[in-house]
Amino acid sequence: MKASETHLGKILEGNNQFVVPLFQRPYTWDESRWKVLWTDLVELCEDETDSSHAKPHFMGSLVTVPTRSVPEGVSKYLLIDGQQRLTTLQVLLAALRDSARGLPGALSEKLEKSHLVNQFEEGLDHFKLLPTQTNGDRTAFLALIKGEPVTDSDSRVAKAYGWFQKKLKSRGSPDAERLAAVILRRLSLVSITLDHDDNPHLIFESLNYKGEPLTQGDLIRNYFLMRVTVAEQEKLFQRCWEPMQLRLKDELSEFVRRFLMRQGAIVKKGEIYRTLKERTDEQTPDGIATFLDELHRSAVHYHRLLDPSQELNPDLHPRLRRFERLEVSVVWPLLLNLYAEHDAGTLSIGEFTAILDTLENYFIRRFVCGVPTHGLNKSLTPLYHQAKSHPLLLDGVRALLAQRGYPSDTEFRQALINGRLYGTGERLPKAKLVLESLERSLAGKEQVTTEPLTIEHIMPQTPTPWWEENLGETWRETHELKLHTLGNLTLTGYNAELSNGDFQSKRTFFLQSPVHLSRSITRFEKWNGETMQQRGEELAELALKTWPYFGPTDSLFSAASTGGFTGRTPVAVLVLGERREAGTWREVLQGTLESVRAAAPDAFDTIVAEFPRLLSMDATKFRAPRSLDGTWHFETNLSAEAIARYCQQLIATAGYAAREWSVETR
Phi, psi values for residue 634, rounded to 5°: -135, 155
Longest CA–CA separation in the chain, Å = 108
Residues 6 or more apart from 576 whose CB is under 8 A from it? 595, 596, 599, 651, 656, 660, 661
Cβ atoms of 536 and 438 closer than 8 Å: no
Whether 580 is covered by a domain: the verdict is: yes
Do 271 and 328 sit in the same domain of this protein?
Answer: yes
What's the mean pLDDT when you consider all of the chain?
Answer: 88
- Residues 349, 400, single domain; the answer is yes
Tally of CB atoms within 10 A around 323: 20
DSSP β-ladder status, 625-627 and 578-581: unpaired
Same domain, 266 and 393: yes
List, in order, residues 6 or more apart from 423 with CB less than 8 Å away: 431, 484
- Which is more confident, 522 or 73? 522
Query: Which among 405, 425, 457 is the end of a domain?
Result: 405
Residues 390, 416 within the same domain: no
125-168 confidence digits (pLDDT tens): 899 999 887 667 888 999 999 999 888 878 899 999 999 999 99
* Buried-state track 601-640, b at ≥16 Cβ within 10 A, e below 16: eebbeebeebbebbbbeeeeebeebbebeeebbbbbebeb
The one-letter amino acid at 337: N
pLDDT recorded at residue 540: 97
Q: How far apart are CA 506 and CA 509, in angstroms?
A: 5
Both 68 and 194 in one domain: the answer is: yes
Q: Which helix (H) or strand (E) holds 592?
A: helix 585-599
Contact 429, 462 (CB under 8 A): no
Q: What is the pLDDT of residues 614-638, one digit of tens each?
A: 999 999 989 899 998 888 999 999 9
Contacts of 522 (CB under 8 A, 6+ apart): 507, 510, 511
What Rg, from alpha-carbon coordinates, does the chain have? 35
Query: Please, are residues 486 and 420 in contact by the beta-carbon 8 Å criterion?
Result: no
Domain with 391, as residue range(s), is: 216-405
Specify the pLDDT at position 567: 80
Element (H, E) at 188: strand 187-193
Q: How many domains does the chain have?
A: 4
| CATH number of residue 587's parent domain | 1.20.1380
- Tell me if 438 is assigned to some domain: yes
pLDDT of residue 210: 40
> At 51, is the pLDDT very low, low, confident or very high (cuts 50, 70, 90)?
low
Q: Tell which residue, 541, 528, 478, 474, has the closest CA to residue 502.
A: 528
Instruction: Characterise 650 by phi-psi region: left (phi > 0), alpha (psi -120 to 50), beta (else).
Output: alpha
- For residues 398 and 445, membership in a common domain is answered with no
Instruction: Name which of 417, 369, 364, 412 is nearest 536 in CA terms.
Output: 417
Res 74 pLDDT > 90: no
- Chosen domain end from 405, 428, 455: 405
Burial class of residue 6 (count of CB atoms within 10 Å of its CB; 0-12, 13-18, 19+): middle
pLDDT at 244: 93
> What is the tens place of the pLDDT at every residue in 461-491?
999 999 999 999 999 999 999 999 999 999 9
**539 and 398 share a domain?**
no
Residue 205 and residue 217: Cα distance in Å, rounded?
14
Query: In the listed set 522, 546, 570, which residue is the last one of a domain according to the structure?
Result: 546
**Mean of pLDDT values over 386-414:** 94
Digit-coded pLDDT (tens) for 210-244: 444 566 777 787 778 777 776 677 788 889 988 99
Same domain, 376 and 447: no
Domain assignment present for 225? yes
Q: Which residues pair with 129 in a beta bridge?
A: 18
Both 91 and 204 in one domain: the answer is yes
Residue 317 placed within a domain? yes
pLDDT on residue 558: 45
Distance CA 62, CA 11 (A): 10
Indicate whether 577 belongs to any domain.
yes
Residue 554 belongs to a domain? no
Give CA–CA dist 25/214, Å, rounded.
9
Give the burial class of 252: count Cβ atoms within 10 A of its Cβ; 0-12 exposed, 13-18 middle, 19 or more buried: buried
- The closest of 97, 61, 65, 59 to 78, measured between CA atoms, is 65
Cα torsion 441, 442, 446, 450 to 10°: value is -70
Q: Are residues 190 and 220 in the same domain?
A: no
Asked whether residue 636 is assigned to any structural domain, the reply reads yes
Are both 232 and 121 inside the same structural domain? no
Q: Average the pLDDT over each of 25-39, 414-428, 547-561, 565-579 and give the range with the smallest value.
A: 547-561
Is residue 480 assigned to a domain?
yes
Q: What distance in Å separates the CA atoms of residue 536 and residue 558, rounded to the nearest whole number?
A: 18
Entry field: residues in the chain: 666
Residues 304 and 445 in one domain: no
Cβ neighbours of 665 (radius 10 Å): 18
Half-sphere exposure of 278 (CA within 13 A, CB side): 7
- Taking the CB of residue 389, how many other CB atoms lie within 10 A of it? 9
